[in-house]
Amino acid sequence: MTVVRPSVSHSGYAQTIDGAAVFSEASYPVINPATGVPFADCPSASKEELDRAVAAASRAFPAWRDADVQVRRAALHRFADAVDAEQDGLSAVLTMEQGKPLNRARDEISRAAEQMRRLSLIDMPTETLQDSAGRPFDVQYRPMGVVGAITPWNMPIILAMSKISHALYTGNTLVLKPSPYTPLATLRLGQLGIGIFPPGVLNVLAGPDELGRWMTEHATISKITFTGSVRTGKKVMASAAETLKRVTLELGGNDAAIVLKDVDPVAIAPRLFAGAFVNSGQVCMAIKRLYVEAPVFEPLCAELARLAKEVTVGDGFDPEVTMGPVQNAMQYRIVHEVLDEVLRDPQAQVLGGTQQIPAQGYFVAPRVIAQPAQTSRVVTEETFGPLLPVLKFDDVDEVIEKANSTRYGLSGSVWTGDLARATDLAQRMDVGTAWVNHHVGSDPCVPFGGTKESGIGRENSLLGLRHYMEPHVVSVRPL
């Protein structure tokens, strides 16, 4: 069928600095991954514009810090309402620049707004503790100042809204940089904040990776929050160390899901498939390795292969499409490099991928890969695309060791009707989050983050909010 794309502006995108729209002299093209060709121009911030944004955020900080928490909460709720009201326009831009099906883009917008509302309802109390002599003292948590936030291209709006929520609700001000691959919908967020937040509280700039480096090096930015790859996260941390910036890093994962033999393969296959192939496999917490106990290995592989063949891959504006493209040319090449290695593996069986896909754009049909080599890239690395390795096991202790034998430690899951056994196995997984009988998902009330090279710090919940604040001890004794 002919795909009808809504009208999306080719130009006119502005950055937000000090409560005003700023049109930069420099720009760069943004590519639609469904076509592989540019569709819009994005402003590219200069170092001088970054300095202006940071200065504005610094000026706005004292008043925003001292504002009553109810005032900050009300502003965030008004902002969430404004985002909801612009759902149609935002989702169209998001699908055009990211590639996900339009209904998935709409869902991302609405979930982002709702999570902002819920996070900003969490109470942030002062703690009263006792010293070794039993004397009370208070631990207050105070905002840090100017926060620099850098977001990725896979879930641009929900991750931008999360960082806005954490930073502004805790009394910080913010300079936000989206991925250069998916900047446009996030720039719209900045414009929606004008008139809701005081000037300088929310600043949104776009640009290439160099802009991110300027932010991590900037002496006036007190904290960097970054979501993205392990490789880039290490660079962020090294750069931030020069000024001892506080950092929150939510990095990649190579999540293992362990399926025990008592499950019904037909019943759980759709949930496992969704956990692996959501957003074309481009989710940090998606299932990247599936370990299946031998008695149910064959039937589960067959069911997953059937589901893979039923996926409709194509342009996200086609209402019949259920899986969009890989987001950018670089990631497209990585996925194909990994797939080419799998196709050369004599012991691996590639299932799915039989449907026709558009010749233009960064499309990859979903594949289920049965019994690849344990040392192959599809098993040991985070492919970040629609490839799912499925490996057979007989010994539970051995599979826990394999699940943990990775530099990643973001999340994982165990699938079985025996909840006591599942809980024991989940507790043995070396990850930040271990699920039982579900996989993928975040809740504003539940802390999320990784161990090992999957990150530092947590987001969501009171614990996550306090990663955006400094503890301040007040100890009072009578004369």
Residues designated as active site: 250, 284
Closest CA to 347 of 380, 382, 412, 392: 392
φ and ψ at 29, to 5 degrees? -80, 145
What is the rounded distance in angstroms from the CA atom of residue 341 to the CA atom of residue 24?
44
Specify whether the CB–CB gap between 225 and 149 falls below 8 A: yes
What does the DSSP 8-state code read for residue 417? Answer: S
What is the rounded distance in angstroms from the CA atom of residue 337 to the CA atom of residue 457?
32
Terminus-to-terminus CA distance in the chain, angstroms? 83
Specify whether the CB–CB gap between 351 and 370 falls below 8 A: yes
What is the rounded distance in angstroms from the CA atom of residue 108 to the CA atom of residue 111?
5
Specify whether the CB–CB gap between 145 and 39 falls below 8 A: no
What is the rounded distance in angstroms from the CA atom of residue 336 to the CA atom of residue 47?
36
Burial class (CB in 10 A: 0-12, 13-18, 19+), 109: buried
Pairing between β-strand 387-393 and β-strand 287-293 as defined by DSSP bridges: parallel
Distances (CA, A) of 284 to 36, 153, 256, 448: 24, 11, 12, 12
Distances (CA, A) of 106 to 14, 86, 183, 322: 22, 10, 17, 14
What is the rounded distance in angstroms from the CA atom of residue 77 to the CA atom of residue 81?
6
- Residue 369 makes CB contacts below 8 A (sequence gap 6+) with 342, 348, 349, 350, 351, 378, 387, 388, 389, 390
What is the rounded distance in angstroms from the CA atom of residue 87 to the CA atom of residue 90?
5
Q: In what order do the strands lie in the sheet with 246-250?
A: 20-22, 15-17, 202-204, 173-177, 146-150, 221-227, 246-250, 455-456
DSSP code per residue over 296-319: GHHHHHHHHHHHHHH--BS-TTST
Q: Locate 465 and state its tokens.
A: 């909010």
What is the rounded distance in angstroms from the CA atom of residue 328 to the CA atom of residue 29?
13
